[in-house]
Structure 1
């Protein structure tokens, strides 16, 4: 995607409800942004210069900032192989530091926030602008496959509410991909994998009404990985850790009450791009999920058309209706 494409207002979903009507003031989101061009150390200095806080060095390629004006923030090279625990041997620390030094140019640096009120997203955008001015770049470096993850807090543990979000997302995913145009390198790597087709058919069946245990079992059997464009494992594990562990056959790697939305590109420095716009795109999914009659109509249309070329047209039309385009 070019910077010009990113700034085209016709490609960005319009808000169709006022903020207070959507309840954004009560929502919280954790933000993860990948970028190249700056080391973790240099990026930490930029964050401290703008937001304050104290920098603590966890290891050579991971820095933690406590007490910033946006809460605690971690910045690190995005690879588990270059980080060491505090009690690791001196030899292991040296090996991992050297591994990070060597691989730094081909591994993204990642900035990770604690859950933030939605109203603070413009502050994240200003921070990303500062990082861009200091040399951070996103998908300008295609070999890094830089992306943005939104950890969207979700407090409703009713399986029906989670299922509706997943159904709405699957119905809108083709149009979201068209709108976002994920970086080519990212689509070739497994990190934002699509849901298996057979699983999509199961979930988009209007007659699919699982209880929570069955939903977890179905999800984990088809998606035993975090590498999905919308990762539900952290949310499901936060509700019933044992059910997820049983279904996966191992402990889940992350447990938090959030939808882990992984599709957006990281377009740091691109004119017109922002985290706030990615949040607007996500809100379109929630808006469709909240309109039960329209959602059920979409499920029926998809079922009736899924064997024809009309299926994708149905999904794109629904997206256009929801975002007001």
Structure 2
């Protein structure tokens, strides 16, 4: 990791004014935390005990806790094969329940919050501590590969703002990975894949200025799966579902105005890990994205370090620069 990258991660901050702080508190983020060591039913009971609310059994391995102090919370075994659709027959429900009973120790349980104000994240951290004290285990169970996902609300539909965030994330990703201390198991599994090198090079070109349709086509061509560190498909589909469907060749299932930030670790029980800390790291990405001059400098630095690694691309870029003068 470059020293400048670590410095940026350590020092980048969102503007510290009372107005901006209030704005940050009103922003919403959805939290998804994976863990093992307890069933969805047990987790739902712990959530209700500490947060109040009403438990609703959706199926044998999926429960919602409504009207808690921080809104709705879903607890479920993280496998689509063990959950029954509403129209399922009694036999199908029984088969899926048994499948969940058998695989429960091999598949993580997941806690999913409704979108909630950033100011409520400490409350989620406290809830995670309660789950850990009751026996929930995270990344320390290597066979489960537990992770944390943040669904970060983004209401700006301008493609330039989305591109700047993606560029800032790609520039800071090496420092973020070092700071997060990647779980080895997660690096071996496909759930949190890195962006293809060719796509990364396209996006980090300072001269890359696509319109929305071009950005969607470029993104979907190289990232048709949700399994990316920073999944943009839900956000892009929330802006123009038809454009995403055309680019993918199929419907995008998750549609919401959020960056889906897929973190590789959920270290329940580790006093040095928290959702709030990961959120603060994310804010360093937004800080770089909002500083247009600094972002441009970083993009040019990146190009200077990498442009000669692809001779054909370098010649094309040089030709384009000469012709544009």
- 2:51 & 2:178 partners in 1: Cα distance? 35
CA deviation profile, 1:104-126 (whole Å, cap 9, x unmatched): 10100000001000000000011
Matches within 5 A, 1:120-135: 120-135=120-135
Corresponding position: 1:203 with 2:203: yes
Aligned residue in 2 for 1:269:
269
> Is contact 1:61–1:100 with CA below 8 Å preserved after alignment?
yes
- Residues 28 and 118 in structure 2, CA contact (< 8 A), matched pair in contact too: yes
Does the CA contact (< 8 Å) of 2:146 and 2:264 recur in 1?
no
- Asked if the contact 1:82–1:97 (Cα under 8 Å) also holds between the matched residues in 2, the reply is yes
CA distance in 2, matches of 1:200, 1:15: 22
Map 1:297-312 → 2, pairs under 5 A: 297-306=297-306
2:60 counterpart of 1:30: no
- What's the counterpart of residue 192 of structure 1? 192
Question: CA RMSD of the aligned region, Å?
Answer: 1.6
Aligned mates of 1:296, 1:138 — CA distance in 2: 38
CA drift at 1:24: 1.0
Match of 2:315 in 1: none
For 1:138-177, what aligned pairs fall within 5 Å after superposition? Answer: 138-177=138-177
Partner residue of 2:323?
none
| Distance apart, 1:91 and its partner CA | 1.0
SS of 1:288's equivalent? helix
| Distance in structure 1 (CA, Å) of the matches to 2:214 and 2:263 | 26
**Which residue in the other structure is 2:322 paired with?**
none
Structure 1 runs, 4 residues or longer, greater than 4 Å off: 12-15
SS in 2 for 1:105: coil
**Structure 1, residues 250-308: CA drift from partner, whole Å, max 9, x if none?**
00010000000002410111012110000001000000000000000000110010157
Summarize deviations over 1:136-193 as a string: whole Å, max 9, x none.
0101101100000000000000000000000000000011111112211111111110
SS of 1:299's equivalent in the other structure is helix
| Total equivalences in the alignment | 299
Q: C-alpha displacement at 1:229, in angstroms?
A: 0.4
State the partner residue of 1:114: 114
Matches within 5 A, 1:1-325: 13=10, 16=13, 17-18=15-16, 20=18, 21-22=20-21, 23-306=23-306
Larger Rg: 2
Distance 2:11 2:58 in 1: 41
Contact 1:25 1:118 in 2 (8 A): yes
Distance, in Å, in 1 between the alignment partners of 2:119 and 2:244 is 32
* Paired residues of 2:39 and 2:109 also in contact (CA < 8 A): yes
Give distance in 1, aligned partners of 2:110 and 2:283. 24
SS, match of residue 225 in structure 1: coil
1:76 offset after TM fit, Å? 0.2
Tell me, yes or no, if the aligned pair for 1:61 and 1:82 is still in contact at 8 Å.
Answer: yes
